[in-house]
Structure 1
Amino acid sequence: MAIQSILVLGLGKVGSLVGVLLKKTGFQVTGAARSERTDLPFDTKTIDVSDIHQMVDLMRRHDCVVSCLPYHFNLDIAKQACRNKIHYFDLTEDVPTTKAIIKLSRSATSILAPQCGLAPGFIAIIGASLVEKFDTVRSLKLRVGALPQHPTGLLGYAFNWSPEGVVNEYLNECEVIEGGVHKWISPMEWVEKLVIDGIPLEAFTTSGGLGTMCDTYLGVIDNLDYKSIRYPGHVKLMNFLFHELLMRENRKLAGEILTHAKPPVKKDVVYIHASVEGWQSKQLVRDEFVEAYYPIEIDGKSWSAISWTTAASVCAIVEMAHNGSIADKGFIKQEMISLEDFLKTVNGRLYHTEPHE
């Protein structure tokens, strides 16, 4: 199923790079956003992204739409994509949005693929690739963190990602499988210590990172959870902010305070730590995927680690849809995507880049 023309909705740090990468891959790309952009190597349109009718008119001229907008726009866009037989991809970590898109997909004649970013997204592809090597799995632990390379202050953090998304991850309930039982647990719990490349870190439960993996692996894996990686001490302070100071009651204000205090940095790092324990040929074995990804240069411009790891993931999946490596219609589960095929794509090969500062 060939994809020729792609509409990228939202041209922020990730959306603009999605457009750049897809154009480099050979697709016809149009970008659309509320603010005018004249600095990108593809055609752009200025539209009111809250006006679904404007977006539908633009969507109908393309084979495929990639939404890089905040999650609350995505369900309406997915509905229109389904209705107009347009392939749909997004980066959402929002669980209710994804569940609604799954319902839409039952009658879809085009692809509906939410959760195509880093987590959920790439981390599920990695986790599934580890699981398939085992006869029986007792635990799969998935950890991801986007952090400043050179942290300052007690939080040790910088908002290189959507503040709205981060606040929701810290406050919404988290899906897990524990002891073979599908559960919902509180965020910012189950705190553990990690060390990657000699750097001490902590990880704790956050929502959305598993995508649909609990549904897929219930009855297959005894224990499955996702946690965000931060520098030590971060979760204690965030619990103080949201719960003792009651900022959970005003998520918008909490996001504004945090982004004002901790603006984005150019030198960031994305840590991925996935581990599986289980039995291979009656032997108890542990396997891991542990990587640190740093900013890279694309066409003479430096892109942050969180931007390119997120953008490259959705672009690789679009490529796989184009070349027939995934189903040509219906809902696409990230954990059903082959890591081997993913890494063979033009954009998947970016993950082979040697980390550098």
Structure 2
Amino acid sequence: MKVAIVGAGLIGHTIAHMLRETGDYEVVAFDRDQAALDKLAAEGIATQRVDSADSNAIKAAVQGFDALVNALPYYLAVNVAGAAKAAGVHYFDLTEDVRATQAIRNLGDGAAQAFMPQCGLAPGFIGIAAHELANRFSEVREVKMRVGALPEFPTNALKYNLTWSVDGLINEYCQPCEAIRESHTQWVQPLEGLEHFSLDGIEYEAFNTSGGLGTLCETLSGRVETLDYKSVRYPGHRDLIQFLLQDLRLSTDRDTLKTIMRRAVPSTAQDVVLIFVTVTGMRNGQLVQDVFTRKIFAKTVCGMPMSAIQITTAGAMCAVLDLFREGKLPQSGFVRQEQVSLRDFLANRFGQLYEGSTLDAMATTTTA
């Protein structure tokens, strides 16, 4: 399968590396940042310099490919999806942006090729897990989805390190959030709904952030009384972010906020991804609660040291692409994450990263 990866940043680089290592994919990376492309070229991965904001240039560059994987920031998603449609290639991305996803859905409805956005961790895997749990109940009362990408060793006041896109992080802190309350879909405010819980003796907080539900509100509409998604952080983080965004009014000056974050908050590869899903409902006449939880730590995968957010985000994208290549997903039109079987995902060589396996041990079990 010939795959164009548009965006050679941290996650795009990781996806390219993981796919190439299997031997089942012909991978070419596209970006306008020559330095980022040079890092991939040094690993023997084919690259081509293309203006990431120029949809016509992308359309021309991806002609003849089977699929396009978009690893660019959310605000470029719709342009890249339009280029994929014009070029006649299948489209996959990692966006958490609700409006971008709706625009991509409009592009995908009735299209000859597949359009599958939100293929990362959240939205993405979290929706696959929550949908599977919900399907085990005759009546669903409550679905709670909690995800955190956290430093393993927090030291600053925010108790946070940059582990992924600053643009995506700020966007999910600022945009309205979908939820279901009393069986009705509604919008709730980001940073609200603060709650505290502990897991394995560690205290956490969680609060509303945008985009993590993907398309689950629509999929579970009429079937669930309460559904929400919240980001998990260490206690105190939400109050400081609220001070920056609301008291200092940086929600209306995101460029300044991005500059502050990049200057003051270091990145780390020593992180942990926390996944926590609880579903409550009726089964065989009894009120039951099922829980799905994972903690994933940084480690070496395919001979490359990777942070937990790299493993979970790139791993989810690669698993979905693998399942699509094997014909286990729809081959045309708009494809939702919850159309992926959790069992198929976790059995996949990339999905097994969510179970603690290493891809190095699985690279020999490839299929044609």
TM-score normalised by length of structure 2: 0.93
2:327 maps to which of 324, 328, 338: 324
Q: Identify which of 13, 28, 35 aligns with 2:10.
A: 13
Deviation at 1:235, TM superposition (A): 0.5
- In structure 1, how many angstroms separate the alpha carbons of the residues matched to 2:84 and 2:130? 29
SS of aligned partner of 2:69 = strand
Q: 1:299 aligns to what?
A: 302
Alignment-derived partner of residue 140 in structure 1? 143
Find the counterpart in structure 1 of residue 25 from structure 2.
27
What's the CA shift for 1:354?
Answer: 6.1
Question: Which residue of the partner structure matches residue 198 of structure 1?
Answer: 201
Distance 2:234 2:141 in 1: 28
Q: Distance in 2 between matches of 1:85 and 1:181?
A: 38
Contact (CA 8 Å) 2:59, 2:83: kept in 1 or not? yes
Amino acid at match of 1:21: M
Where does the alignment leave 5 or more consecutive residues of structure 2 unmatched? 359-368
Q: Distance in 2 between matches of 1:85 and 1:56?
A: 9
Residue 43 of structure 2 aligns to a residue in which SS?
Answer: coil
Provide the secondary structure at the position in 1 that maps to 2:130: helix
Counterpart-to-counterpart distance in 1, 2:332 and 2:265: 41
Alpha-carbon RMSD: 1.2
Query: Which residue identity lines up with residue 192 of structure 2 in the other structure?
Result: E
SS at match of 1:157: coil
State whether residues 16 and 40 of structure 1, in contact with CA within 8 Å, keep that contact through their aligned partners in structure 2. Answer: no
Give the partner amino acid of 1:237: L
Cα distance between partner residues in 2 of 1:77 and 1:320: 22
Alignment of 1:273 with 2:276, yes or no, is yes
Query: Residues 4-58 of structure 1: CA distance to partner in whole angstroms, max 9, x if unpaired?
Result: 1000011111100101111123111101112232323321112221222221111
Consecutive unaligned residues of structure 1, counting only runs of 5 or more, are none
Q: Aligned partner of 2:93: which letter?
A: D
Of residues 210-219 and 343-352 in structure 1, the stretch that sits farther from structure 2 once superposed is: 343-352
Matched, 1:351 2:339: no
Helix, strand or coil for the counterpart of 1:77?
Answer: helix
Q: Which residue of 1 aligns with 2:43?
A: 40
The TM-score normalised by the length of structure 1 is: 0.96
Structure 1 range deviating more: 245-254 or 39-48: 39-48
Question: How many residues in Structure 1 have an aligned counterpart in Structure 2?
Answer: 352
* Match for residue 287 of structure 1 among 267, 286, 290: 290
Given the superposition, is the C-alpha separation of residues 354 and 314 from structure 1 closer, same or farther in structure 2, using an over 3 Å criterion? Answer: closer
Q: What are the Cα deviations for residues 71-106 of structure 1, in whole angstroms up to 9, with x where unaligned?
A: 111111111212332100000001111001111112
Q: Post-superposition, which runs of at least 4 consecutive aligned residues in structure 1 deviate over 4 A?
A: none
Tell me, in whole angstroms, the C-alpha distance in 2 between the residues paired with 1:31 and 1:354. 26
- For 1:14, the aligned partner's letter is I
Aligned partners of 1:241, 1:118: CA distance in 2, in Å? 26
Paired residues for 1:163-312 under 5 Å:
163-312=166-315
The residue number in structure 1 matching 2:80 is: 77
Query: Aligned residues: percent identity?
Result: 39
Matched, 1:88 2:85: no
User: How far apart in 1 are the matches of 2:54 and 2:84?
Assistant: 15
Q: Bigger shift: 197-206 or 293-302?
A: 293-302
CA distance in structure 1 between the aligned counterparts of 2:33 and 2:108, rounded to whole angstroms:
31
Deviation for aligned residue 1:107: 2.5
Do the aligned partners of residues 77 and 277 (structure 1) sit closer, same or farther apart at CA in structure 2, a change above 3 Å counting? same
What's the counterpart of residue 55 of structure 1? Answer: 58
The answer on whether the counterparts of 2:122 and 2:147 sit within 8 Å (CA) in structure 1 is yes
